[in-house]
Amino acid sequence: MTFKILVLNLGSTSTKVAYFENKKEVCSETLRHSTSQVGLPLLKQLPFRLNSIQEFLDENGIGLDNIDIISARGGLLKPIDGGTYGVNRLMLDELTSFNNGEHASNLSAVIAHELGRDHDIQATITDPVVVDELIDEVRMTGLKDISRVSIFHALNQKAVARNFAKKLGKNYTDVNVIVVHMGGGITVGAHEKGRVIDVNDGLYGDGPMSPTRSGALPNRAFAKYIFDNQLTLHEINTIISKQGGFISLKGTEDALTIEREALDGDQYSLDLYRSLSVQIAKEIGSRATVLKGDIDGILFTGGLAHSKFLIDLIRPYIEFLGDVEVYAGEEEMQALAEGAYRVLTGEEKLKEYI
């Protein structure tokens, strides 16, 4: 039987749409939007984004009455376990109230619901960034009013871990892996038998620095920096999540440019990459302890995983821990399609958001 799956992934400046038959992509497109359009409040973006998706369907001869399921990127919800969830009224209310945060991804499930409503099509999300499977031992900090939270590249991390397990002839729930997603933010997750029991907050500066994020900072020095510059909470969040890392150190988030400079002999660029490699390696080592050394593989993914230079800098620090494999880039659309497919085939149960 052939299942027909529509996949939606809304980002800040674009709308990604793809049509799959079972797990095979038939057609896809990244729909770019104008600066004036994406400058609108998020809820006011719904009409033009919905229209652009409908145009994609019309141009490719895809009728909604033939679609079995619509799989959407998950937005900023309350913490939940990994898996595929049906879009329901509670989820829609939380996504459109922005109580858990405001991002264009919140609109993905809203549009999926709108498209599917008149055709009785199930809308779903799979492994949103708020997946929280942390064990209690890693939540506690040295201040009783502050706990660690789980915000990471859950969709891509879990997809890569599943692919690795399949390569071993096993299920995701049978392996222990450390997954390192290296993109605009860097997250390192300890996956134990299908659950991410420890991971750094890749959004607001926990763990390694990255092209746009500061990473963990010395507490006293950062507190003094905030005090001296009389920063607001919004300004602090902007600095550590959008103006840190490569941008702060080199004035650009372009990793390829910095890498070329390092390879051409620029000492500061080389020092930056060496520091980055050590920070990532230390984070991997931290996850290895949580897994008690029982590691089937260390898996690198994300855009920066294309850099053999960076991977080779990291390897000497971590290859004693286990086999290293690279899955460069991101396969979010494929992962969303496969999440829906697992539900359609009965491999996984559709979860309820409550």
Residue 97: count other Cβ atoms within 10 Å of its Cβ.
10
**Residue 38 pLDDT > 90:** no
Q: What is the CATH T-level fold of the domain 136-322, as seen in this structure?
A: Nucleotidyltransferase; domain 5 (3.30.420)
Residue whose tokens read 């052939």: 2
The gap from C-alpha 276 to its chain's centroid, in whole angstroms, comes to 20
> Where do we find the tokens 């920096």?
225
Give the model's pLDDT for residue 327.
97
Looking from the CA of 303 toward its CB, the CA atoms found within 13 Å total 10
DSSP state letter for 131:
B
Residue 330: the pLDDT is: 85
**pLDDT classification of 348: cutoffs 50, 70, 90:** very high
Q: In this predicted structure, what is the pLDDT of residue 15?
A: 94
351 in Cβ contact with 82 (< 8 Å): no
More confidently predicted of 202 and 50: 50
What is d(CA 197, CA 288) in angstroms, rounded to the nearest whole number? 11
With b for 16 or more beta-carbon neighbours within 10 A and e for fewer, the 278-315 pattern comes to ebbbebbebbbebbeeebbbbbbbbbbbbbeebbebbe
**In CATH, which superfamily holds the domain spanning 4-130+333-352?**
ATPase, nucleotide binding domain (3.30.420.40)
Q: Point out which residues pair with 42 in neighbouring strands.
A: none
Q: What would the pLDDT profile of 117-162 be if each residue is shown by its tens digit?
A: 989 999 999 999 899 999 999 999 999 999 999 989 999 999 999 9
Q: Which residue has the tokens 């497919």?
A: 341
Percent share of the chain, pLDDT over 70? 100
Mean pLDDT of the chain: 95
**Domain 4-130+333-352 and domain 136-322 have a common topology:** yes
d(Cα 193, Cα 279) in Å, to the nearest integer? 26
Work out the average pLDDT over 264-271: 98
**Residue-level pLDDT at 13:** 84
**Range of lowest pLDDT (94-103, 188-197, 214-223, 254-263):** 94-103
Cβ neighbour number for residue 136 with a 10 Å cutoff: 8
Domain ranges within the chain, ordered by starting residue: 4-130+333-352, 136-322
CA angle 73, 78, 80 (to 5 degrees): 75
pLDDT at 205 over 90: no
